[in-house]
Amino acid sequence: MKIQIVLFEGFGELVALAPFEVLKRAMDNGAPFHVELVGSDPNRQLKASYGVQVSVEEYLQISNRPDLLIIPGGGWNHKSVHGVRNEVEKGYLPRIISEMSCLGTIMAGVCTGGMLLGASGILKGKKATMHHLATEELKTYGADLLNYRIVDDGDVITARGVSSGIDLALWIIERFAGSEIAASVENRMEYERRGVVWQRK
């Protein structure tokens, strides 16, 4: 299973890099994943919201679309110059998210990364969750907001706040690689999962 985490100028460090490490640890435990960080465009050098510089080798492309794409938040609630709001205004990421979703890529938004899912149009009529400071804005995209840590509506998964990216990654491991690997990663990290996962049956 190919999993990509898309980075853009102003992405949140924790919401992007925490899921990356958790999923990489799952690979060490036998999960059939290939996990990589990709840029939103061909720019190979990206600066996160608190100044961390990240180099990426690849960028998001339809021709190399993943089975699952994780979209981090960053900057939305701060109304930063760079970050999710800027990416929504530019329009490119929402367009490619929409196209990849139509082609079968599962989308996962962490924190306000879910606003990019909303802007893409794929949350209309879907169950979703969001950071508490952006819930009213998420509703404008037609999402049915649920007050859970993780909301899994099948082809769209959303995680509530900044630290929920860890729980999202553990849920992805459980869903696609099994509860034993998820529990092993959780134990090795000395982490205890928080909150409730809502899953469409």
Neighbours of 158 (CB within 10 A): 33
Note the pLDDT tens digit of each residue in 169-181. 999 999 999 999 9
User: What's the CA gap between 42 and 115, in Å, rounded?
Assistant: 22
As a whole-number percent, the residues of the chain with pLDDT over 90 amount to 90
User: Taking residues 152-157, what's their average pLDDT?
Assistant: 98
Region 2-199: CATH code: 3.40.50.880
pTM, two decimals, is 0.96
For residue 2, what are the β-bridge partners? 34
Neighbours of 166 (CB within 10 A): 23
